[in-house]
Amino acid sequence: MDVRGRPANFYDKARFLVEIDLMQYAGFQSVSDVSSAFAAKLYHDGASPTPFKKAGKEDYPNVTLEQGASEDRDMEDWWNLVKSSVRGYGVIPDLYKRNVTIVQIDETGDRKREIVLFGAYPVNMVMGSWDATDQEGFVIKSLELAYDELEVIS
């Protein structure tokens, strides 16, 4: 049987960049699953044995970014900006919400695909864990982001 089309060129999951508005350096070692889901709306009609279904509201689960701890304070500064807003110090959401772009790159460093998380802001920050018996590890900090919407740009 003939194979139609062209073979797929799968992307290497270890080749990516993360760009965050207003951050100088956003070098992360991992990004959790980026996903989107629609709620299923059901309508039950007394004359039908099965419900009618249609797509409902879209939901975007939070995304977690991880990076090695260093002298860079951009994540902590962003966290503190949100904290100031929550505590009522005059910081409005438009100032702490940022766009985050996850860029898939190929072997030559060319951009292949981009996923943009619009209106992202941190909701959980882990500063790392320490273990004096660990001979190989580094302190890894993580930032969990909530966001308003996502768009995939090819």
* Domain harbouring 70, CATH code: 2.30.110
Q: Is residue 82 part of a domain?
A: yes
Counting beta carbons within 10 angstroms of the beta carbon of residue 33, is it exposed (0 to 12), middle (13 to 18) or buried (19 or more)? exposed
Higher pLDDT, 2 or 36: 36
Going by pLDDT thresholds of 50, 70 and 90, the confidence category of residue 144 is very high
Measured CA to CA, the distance from residue 121 to residue 98 in angstroms comes to 6
Q: Is residue 7 part of a domain?
A: no
Predicted confidence at residue 107, as pLDDT, reads: 83
Q: Is residue 41 part of a domain?
A: yes
**Could you tell me the two tokens for 129?**
């864990």
Q: Is residue 1 part of a domain?
A: no
Which domain, by its residues, includes 131? 16-153
Measured CA to CA, the distance from residue 74 to residue 84 in angstroms comes to 15
With a threshold of 0.95, does the pTM exceed it?
no
| Distances 89 to 3, 50, 77, 114 between C-alpha atoms, Å | 63, 53, 15, 35
Q: Is residue 4 part of a domain?
A: no
Q: Is residue 102 part of a domain?
A: yes
Predicted confidence at residue 73, as pLDDT, reads: 85
Strands (E), 106-139: 111-126
Predicted confidence at residue 7, as pLDDT, reads: 63
Q: Which of 44, 43, 68 is nearest to 55 (CA)?
A: 43
Local structure of residue 4 (DSSP, 8 states): P
Q: Is residue 6 part of a domain?
A: no
What is the percent of the chain where pLDDT is above 90? 38
State how many domains the chain has. 1
Measured CA to CA, the distance from residue 66 to residue 17 in angstroms comes to 12
Cβ atoms 16, 31 nearer than 8 A: yes
Over residues 130-135, mean pLDDT: 85
Could you report the per-residue pLDDT of 8-63, keeping only the tens digit for each? 666 677 788 899 998 866 678 889 999 999 999 998 888 888 988 999 999 999 99
Could you report the per-residue pLDDT of 93-107, keeping only the tens digit for each? 788 899 999 998 888
SS3 labels along 89-100: CCCCHHHHCEEE
